[in-house]
A and B are shown apart, each in its own frame.
Chain A
Amino acid sequence: MDIKIQIRQLSVSYNGTPALRSITLDIYKNCITGFMGPAGSGKSTLITLINRMIDFEEGVRYDGEIRIDGINVLDPAVDVVALRRRIGMVFAVPLPLPRSIFDNIAYGPRLKGITNMTDLYAIVEDSLKKAFLFDEVKDRLMTSAMKLSGGQQQRLCLARTLALQPDIILLDEPCSGLDPISTAKIEEALSELKKDYTIILVSNNTKQIARTSDYAAFFYMGELIEFGETPRIFTNPSQKKTEDYIQGKFG
């Protein structure tokens, strides 16, 4: 299995308070890697470093390396705009822009300079199909994205990300506000998508990690407690903390 992302001795602090302590971790290509851990464990911080969204926070210091295909993305010389086009991100709260479904998905491609309507339509249709949303919205692509249900909005956000043709997709608790049926649809889409993408799924829901991921990492208080293949982590964790968390003894 190829390694897509290598994280090496990564430490992060917010205004002097450590958020991640010397994390070393490999993310494998075409797999879903689940990050779990209680609030404040640093799992969300880690994914905002991978696409450098952390640059918009104030008072952040980081140290160490994140290598994607061998290139350190924490290097100040990295073109962060190009980086973010390669790495899609879906947030906890669905955030469609206040415009039509079509325009939401065409937003990224248009930023890249694609203006031909035929090309744009092809991208929009393809992205919506991959996010399992096309059949539900194909008759109303020009209506406002704000009118979709929460679950549909989240799949729209996934489609919008796919329209950028990234190779990595980061999902930050994408189902935290969704009902079980919408959650199942997202999970279904993810297990199809991993054939073409490398996926990192951050979730508070250990069951979701167990269901969907191939590898799982457990974070606690800024430290990586345990990492391994998901079935092993859930059936035979080597750390007491991991076991307690999975069993719901704390969190």
Chain B
Amino acid sequence: MPKNRAVLIDQIIKQTMRICAFSSLFFLFLIFLFILIEGLPLFYRVGVGNIIAGFKWAPTKGAFGIFPMIVSSFLVTIGALILGAPLGLACAVYLAEYAGKKKKLFLKPALELLAGIPSVVYGFLGVIYIVPLIRTYCGGSGFSLLAAAIVLGVMILPTVISISYDALMSVPRTYREGSLAMGATKWQTTYRVVIPAASSGILASFILGMGRAIGETMAVIMVAGNALRIPGSILDPLRTLTSNIALELAYASGDHRLGLFSTGVVLLIIIMILNYLANFVIRQKVIK
């Protein structure tokens, strides 16, 4: 093959790859654009405060307060984190520090499968098993903050585990050896040296887990009860930002529809902040 032709093919492939790579950026841009175009006008008309801090959601009557949903989204996310983060971290530590090659061989694919199960299946199992359990043993209808937190706690496990695991594995082997050679036990080495050295990555895994939890829709709709108020206890039903959009979009029109887009804008901003935080804590480490 003549040299010029080889160079040309190389260039074409490079440019094609570049277009593919930038297309994801383009899609992201489109999503932003449409959500902002549809969602922002209502903020101007009704007022940012009336939407973000408003308590009453009655979009057909001109009330677009989503404060209870913002609170609910955060409560569910924090609940999921309380349940999922320690479990996920423990699992990652076991995988990275204790599990032998054989155990890793079936644990890792099992975790990937956990990540691949559709959220409707989680929701379904939540409705069939967790909701009745809560109803029987804790009282209330069972559709509750607690049910949503349990289901989401399991759903964020793959995110927390895989990112924490990578962080733990990237701790140089030499740190462990240095500690072990000084007569530290395996566990002393793990919690005094390895976990602190991996702390930024572990923190990032929690934040990304939060992002996963706050964005989850289907499973939450199925188990949370979707009531329009701030829950007074963990046994009360609640409605998150994502649930609000999914539940009402089918029949919304006019300002109601714009109200849902405004909900989307708030959601987008929260997710952006979480992602920025995750990147920030990861970068912290690199600079040090």
Contact = CB atoms under 8 A, between A and B. Distances in A.
| A, B bound | yes
Interface of A: 51, 53, 56, 58, 81-85, 88-89, 91, 93, 95-99, 107-108, 111-112, 157, 160-161, 164
B202 to A, nearest CB: 15
Given A97-B193, A98-B197, A111-B188, A164 B183 contact: yes
A81 B177 contact: no
Given A98-B197, A111-B188, A51 B178 contact: no
A85 B183 contact: yes
Contacts of A58: 101
Nearest to A96: B178
A96 B177 CA distance: 11
Contacts of B197: 98
Interface residues of B, number: 19
Contacts of A99: 196
Contacts of B196: 98-99
A107 B174 contact: no
A83 B182 CA distance: 10
Contacts of A85: 182-183
B182 A160 contact: yes
B182 A108 contact: yes
A163 B130 CA distance: 54
Nearest to A84: B183
Interface of B: 101, 172, 174-175, 177-185, 188, 192-193, 196-197, 288
Contacts of A51: 181
Contact of B181 (A82, A89, A112): A89
| Among all A-B residue pairs, the 6 with the closest Cβ atoms | A85-B183, A95-B178, A84-B183, A89-B181, A95-B174, A108-B182
Interface majority SS (helix, strand, loop, mixed), chain B: helix
A91 B183 contact: no
A81 B189 CA distance: 12
Contacts of B184: 81, 107-108, 111
Contacts of A111: 182-184, 188
A161 B177 contact: no
27 contacts: A51-B181, A53-B181, A56-B177, A81-B184, A81-B185, A83-B183, A84-B180, A84-B182, A85-B182, A85-B183, A88-B181, A91-B178, A91-B181, A95-B172, A95-B174, A95-B175, A95-B178, A98-B288, A99-B196, A108-B182, A108-B184, A111-B183, A111-B184, A111-B188, A112-B183, A160-B182, A161-B181
B96 to A, nearest CB: 14
Contacts of A108: 182-184
B28 to A, nearest CB: 36
Nearest to B197: A98
A164 B182 contact: yes
Contacts of B101: 58
A112 B185 CA distance: 11
Contacts of A56: 177, 180
B185 A95 contact: no
Nearest to B193: A97
Given A56-B180, A84-B180, 15 more contacts: A53-B180, A81-B184, A81-B185, A82-B183, A85-B183, A95-B175, A96-B178, A97-B178, A97-B193, A98-B196, A98-B288, A108-B182, A111-B184, A161-B182, A164-B182
Contact of B179 (A107, A112, A161): A107
A121 to B, nearest CB: 18
A93 B183 CA distance: 19
Contacts of B175: 95, 97-98
B174 A93 contact: yes
